Each structure stands twice: as structure tokens, then as C-alpha cells.
Structure 1
């Protein structure tokens, strides 16, 4: 899911999505897996 898609779902600007994700990670509500863009 992209930042833009997630922003549309939660009703926030895409630029705010990482802020919300970081807060959720700090509160142990979310674990994020990252993948390289090129494989």
C-alpha cells in the first residue's frame, strides 16, 4: 500500500502518513517491513 493510498483511507495527507506510522510503531501497535524498490 502506498502512502497516498493509506492517506486516502485514513483521511490524511500522504506526507503525514509516515508520522502516524512512526507513532504506531513507537506504541508497539505496528511493525513495518521494508523492501527494496529494486530486486
Structure 2
């Protein structure tokens, strides 16, 4: 199973903009990754 490459700088920026708490953000991202 290949892991998608993550642009951490971009991820961090989008995390900062999202204003979510980290666990909440991870949950959001996790569901997004599963569906794509």
C-alpha cells in the first residue's frame, strides 16, 4: 500500500488556516484521504 506523499509545509498552512484543533484536523484529513 503506497502512502501518498505529503507536502508538509502546505499541510501546515492549511491546518493553520482551518483553525481546527489538531485531533479534529487529523480526523477531517483522515476521512478525506479515505474517500479520495
TM-score normalised by structure 2 residue count: 0.46
Q: Higher helix share goes to which structure?
A: 2
Question: Higher Cα Rg: structure 1 or 2?
Answer: 1
